[in-house]
């Protein structure tokens, strides 16, 4: 009796460096990984570096900033009444503790701009127009903004008719777990008429992945300065994602974020902190393939 041999059926698929081909009888063809890698690299067209004008903007004064100032002043005056000096370590400690206690108030959840903050944002709009004219700078073609209410309100006032505003989680303030630095759910932000022209697609995707905004916030860990500085490098990816035709981009974000960006990736360790509504302008060269910043030079 003839013996029947069962021959495994091979599919025309590639698994790792193994390839099978359809001709009969089946044959297996192996390619060196180095050959495959060389072919893949040769098919990638290297993108040229991008020379960008980058406008960095801090939000206007927010409601929690007002209460922080009041708490610090009250703590300072109390220390002086007790005979301490303003520059004593104990005085500084009391002032800082008073400031931090304010930030525990749940009524300051996702704190909005104060009346002064709104005026500062309008002032930033006028300053931006003057800068563009006086320094012959291109007006921002794309706006990237943090998802906290105070930055969204600032962006709305600085760029009241701009149609290319993108809200990105990567630009938010340092994660502290405190109410003012906890953002509102995406659906609530989208429901506000003043934010309706902002693109929040990436926030919606994030909320879907995390099932709920509440769950997402619980999973966020408190960041120290080093962690925040590392997160600011994600800005380079956001810039690389922008269309290469857009050479002027504005980023509306927060004091701590801007501080760590300038003192870290931008290489300015002595850079002073941003004031509310302040604008600084950089010329940068970005390599989009590697998301590497070749240089960042402040021009304003």
> What pTM value is reported for the model?
0.81
Q: Residue 29: how many CB atoms within 10 A of its CB?
A: 9
Per-residue model confidence (pLDDT) at position 26? 45
What are residue 54's DSSP bridge partners?
249, 282
**Residue that has been written with the tokens 């910043």 in this structure:** 293
Residue 208's pLDDT is what?
63
pLDDT digit string, tens, across residues 256-269:
999 999 999 999 99
- The neighbour count for residue 165, using CB atoms within 10 Å, is 21
Residues in the chain: 300
pLDDT at residue number 134: 87
- What's the pLDDT at 209? 58
Place of tokens 């060269």: 285
- Residues near 187 by beta carbon (within 8 Å), at least 6 away in sequence: 207
Percent composition of the chain: helix, strand, coil (DSSP 3-state, to 5) = 45, 15, 40
Domain chopping of the chain, boundaries: 50-62+112-298, 63-110
pLDDT for 46 equals: 73
CA angle 132, 249, 52 (to 5 degrees): 90
Amino acid 222: pLDDT:
86
pLDDT for 45 equals: 54
Q: How many CB atoms lie within 10 A of CB 237?
A: 12
Nearest to 153 by CA among 37, 20, 60, 266: 60
CATH class of domain segment(s) 50-62+112-298: alpha beta
Q: Which residues contact 225 (CB under 8 A, 6 or more apart)?
A: 174, 256, 260
236-239's contacts with Cβ under 8 Å and 24+ in sequence apart are 236/265, 236/286, 236/291, 236/292, 236/293, 237/170, 237/291, 238/144, 238/168, 238/170, 238/171, 239/50, 239/52, 239/54, 239/284, 239/286
Q: Which residues of the chain have pLDDT under 70?
A: 1-45, 207-221
Q: What pLDDT was estimated at residue 203?
A: 86
d(CA 278, CA 127): 9
């Amino acid at each position: 009796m003839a013996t029947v041999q069962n021959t495994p059926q091979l599919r025309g698929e590639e698994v790792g460096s193994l390839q099978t081909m359809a001709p009969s009888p089946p044959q297996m063809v192996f390619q060196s990984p180095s050959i495959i890698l060389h072919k893949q690299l040769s098919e990638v067209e290297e993108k040229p570096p991008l020379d960008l004008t980058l406008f960095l903007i801090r939000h206007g004064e927010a409601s929690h900033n007002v209460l922080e100032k009041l708490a610090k002043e009250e703590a300072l005056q109390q220390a002086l009444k007790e005979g301490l000096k303003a520059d004593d370590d104990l005085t500084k400690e009391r002032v800082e503790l008073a400031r931090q206690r304010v930030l525990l108030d749940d009524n300051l959840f996702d704190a909005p701009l104060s009346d002064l903050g709104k005026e500062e944002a309008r002032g930033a709009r006028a300053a931006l127009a003057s800068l563009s004219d006086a320094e012959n700078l291109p007006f921002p073609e794309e706006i990237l903004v943090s998802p906290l209410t105070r930055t969204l309100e600032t962006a709305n006032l600085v760029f009241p008719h701009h149609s290319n505003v993108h809200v990105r989680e990567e630009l938010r303030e340092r994660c502290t777990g405190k109410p003012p630095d906890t953002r509102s759910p995406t659906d609530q932000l989208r429901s506000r008429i003043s934010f309706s022209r902002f693109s929040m697609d990436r926030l919606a995707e994030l909320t879907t992945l995390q099932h709920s905004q509440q769950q997402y916030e619980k999973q966020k860990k408190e960041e120290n300065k080093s962690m925040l500085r590392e997160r600011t490098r994600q800005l380079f990816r956001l810039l690389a994602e922008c269309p290469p035709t857009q050479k002027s981009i504005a980023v509306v974000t927060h004091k701590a974020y801007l501080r760590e960006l300038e003192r870290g990736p931008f290489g300015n360790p002595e850079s002073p902190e941003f004031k509310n509504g302040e604008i600084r302008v950089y010329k940068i060269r970005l390599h989009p393939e590697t998301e590497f910043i070749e240089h960042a030079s402040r021009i304003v």
